[in-house]
A and B are shown apart, each in its own frame.
Chain A
Amino acid sequence: MTHYSAANITMSAWRSRFLLAMLLLGLLGLVGRAAYLQGMKNDFLRQEGESRYSRIVETSVNRGMITDRHGEVLAISTPVASVCANPRELAASSEQLENLAVLLKMDVTEIQKRIADKRREFVYLKRRVLPESADSVANMNMPGVFLKNEFQRFYPAKEMAAHVLGLTDIDDQGQEGVEREWQEKLASGLGKRRVIRDRKGRIVEDVEKIQALRQGQDLILSLDSGIQHLAHSGLKHAVEVHKAEAGSIVVLDAQTGEVLALSNLPVYNPNRRATINDANRRNRALVDTFEPGSTLKPFAIAAAMEVGQVNPDTIVQTAPGTFKVGRATIRDVKDKGKLSVAQVIQESSNIGTAKIALSLPAQTLWEIFSRSGFGVPAGIGFPGEAKGELRPYNTWRPIEQATMSYGHGISVSLLQLARAYTLFTTGGELKPVSLLKQNVPVMGQQVISRSTALAMSNMLELVTQPGGTAPLAQVNGYRVAGKTGTAHKLVNGRYASDRYISSFVGYAPVSNPRLIIAVMLDEPSAGQYFGGAVAAPVFSRVMTGALRMLNVPHDAPANNIVRFPATPEVEIGG
């Protein structure tokens, strides 16, 4: 047994102190590091940790649908893929780029140009590719090339309702028409949220909502796509037959002022943006104005009836077919002699209307025009809506007051004109017009008395009867009322002698009006240009189809059509 002496196990004092110091130093080091990590680098580390399992997920939904009043789809968005690239990460052989170019039907140099800037992190290679090509691109598995889901807007009705609906741009923002006016409602917003993903990539927990997903609302228009189709094809037929420059048609619900159809030619196909140009993108019925001609006569005469100046049987002398106002001369197509007020409307006499208008104070006439909605936008809520021109009455000269009564020296849009006729279909009320479906009865503003409106309605019915200017406006089985208009076109501030704007505004059935249709053809150049010959047949054709579609009960026997030669309209005014 070895025996150690006490001296043997005594260590030198510095060794134990050294050990203690080392241990304390180590401890200090650890505490210091811990404090550093906890205190100074905490945020960074926490972030790093979270990034191992937390992700930001984006969800997108489509823009709201636009449907007609029966729920038929007029505009809808559906997802398509866009091919994008990150030039920083992109590592592709030239062969791969060739393949990509073929798939995307692009030029390979174009692709190279787009990815040339290596500082950028995101470029579109091609937007909105077909689903098949998108799949093929995904299968190529090229680093730095990826797909992005986007939405494309489709318009199944093609050019039929193009002007009303308008367009969205490539980023799904409304650019024109309804798409622009109701952008706020239709638009959808990207949703962003932070989530926790597990090892398998499944989302297992919602951490926070960064940005709420905004669902685009659907929009129900007042349009009836059946009537819209009838109106559009009827107008197209007439524009082709009469070789017109352009044309517009508006169909209103005679009681509620809802726009059931609105169409213009020329037009574009909204699904093919390349076909759009300045001429065919105009919604002429809303943004363009024209001098309406005789379609304005009923308002001037209604003003005179309203103040008791005339009644339908009052006799007006129109002989000898010319009438001097100051230095200017107003003409009728021939000497019509003595006419009753009803005949003035029926035969569309300029002299008769002018004489009646001149017997009124200018203010009275101005008031009826203004209260019928001329000179102010129709308020349909449409970008660029025209207000037309109605000058203040204190600047009128007598000749202007006379010509305005038959629709010259005043300009209106076709929609304003159609709307103004609600006076005669609702017993004197001017109804607001609307592009959205109305679910409650709309209140109008009383402009003329019920009795004046009814009397005028009876006179307007005579226009389509023997002796009137619009036999071709008649509709089988229904009583029809309306007024033709033929006006010289204003070219650079002067009336062109051989260019006309032909129009017809009318409604049916007279006993309980359901529809107002206004038709306008710009520069018909196939020989005929009277409103009664050019625009009235469109009215009749569309009205016949629309009344059948709406199952409107007949208010006349089925064989009520009387054929007779139309009373010729006058050169100016018609």
Chain B
Amino acid sequence: MVKLNILLALILITSALGVVTSQHKARSLFAALENEHEIARQLDVKWGQLQLEQSTLAMHGRIEQIARIKLNMKAPSVSRVQIVTPGHPVDAGGNSVVERVP
């Protein structure tokens, strides 16, 4: 009887220690999770700022201005545009290849 009681007491102590350890582990894991959440939030903020920066830099008005003024580009006039329809390939000179076939 006494032996059984001692055994039960030992099991009780082990289980109590187990509870303490797992609680501790759970808490540190939770703290780590919170930490990751915080990092995710910060990255989200960063992403938002980068989005803002990108859209500010890529605004059509700005691109058009740079293309026109700095790079001296212009939209091709219609006479310089060759429309390619499917099934009618053109050569490098823009002439229809199909028409050239004798």
A contact residues vs B (CB 8 Å cutoff): 59, 61-62, 65, 72-74, 76-79, 154, 156-158, 160, 198, 202-206, 225-226, 228-229, 233, 476-477, 548, 553-554, 558-559
Contacts and interface: CB of A to CB of B under 8 A. Distances in A.
Contacts of B45: 62, 78-79
Given A203-B34, A476-B78, A554-B83, A73 B27 contact: no
B60 to A, nearest CB: 4
Given A229-B61, A229-B64, A156 B30 contact: no
A205 B48 contact: no
Contacts of A206: 30
B60 A78 contact: no
Given A77-B48, A229-B64, A558 B83 contact: yes
B81 A558 contact: yes
Quick one: which of B27, B78, B81 has the most chain A CB within 10 A? B78
A559 B80 CA distance: 11
10 contacts: A59-B41, A62-B48, A76-B51, A78-B48, A158-B59, A202-B35, A204-B30, A225-B60, A229-B60, A229-B61
- Interface of A (DSSP majority class): mixed
Nearest to A202: B31
B55 A156 contact: yes
Contacts of B30: 203-206
Interface of B: 27-28, 30-31, 34-35, 41, 44-45, 48-49, 51-52, 54-56, 58-61, 64, 75, 78-79, 81, 83, 85
A72 B55 CA distance: 7
Nearest to A159: B61
A15 to B, nearest CB: 43
B52 A76 contact: yes
Q: Shortest 10 CB-CB distances between A and B: which pairs?
A: A229-B60, A204-B27, A73-B55, A156-B55, A202-B31, A476-B78, A203-B34, A156-B56, A78-B48, A558-B78
Contact of A78 (B52, B61, B78, B83): B52
Given A72-B55, A156-B55, A558-B83, A198 B31 contact: yes
Contacts of B52: 73, 76, 78, 154, 156
Contacts of B41: 59, 61
